[in-house]
Amino acid sequence: MNKEEMRIAIAEKCGWKDITKDLQNNLLGRIPNCIDWGIVPNYPEDLNACHEMEKVIAPDYDRWANYLGWLWKITNPDCDFKTDRTVHIQNYITWKFKRATAEQCCEAFCRVFWPERFDN
């Protein structure tokens, strides 16, 4: 998924409706739980927006663990995630989690909900 596809997919999962582009190429949509329109957050470029995105997944323990696992794999591409998931998650929480970029968080989020949209 490219950044724009991730942005739209995440926005829809976060409750944004009727997403479209305006004449200046901004993504607009109906704000969640509101009738007003607004500019869709730029999740892949904004860690504050990612924090809001994570609130969607956090209540579901299995998805949250899957998200952390993907985030570990994305931020540590040379590591074999399948060999020792528990150690990776613990190490990740203490160090890598705080250093992941917004784009990496978005990729992990999207891999949890739409794994079929990625090549690997």
3-state SS record for 25-80: CCEEEECCCCCCEEECCCHHHCHHHHHHHHHHHCCCHHHHHHHHHHHHHHHCCCCC
75 falls in which pLDDT band (50, 70, 90)? Answer: confident
- pTM (predicted TM-score): 0.82
Q: Of 71-75, 95-99, 105-109, where does the model show the most confidence? A: 105-109
Q: Which pLDDT score is estimated for 92?
A: 52
Average pLDDT of 67-81?
A: 77
Q: Which pLDDT score is estimated for 87?
A: 55
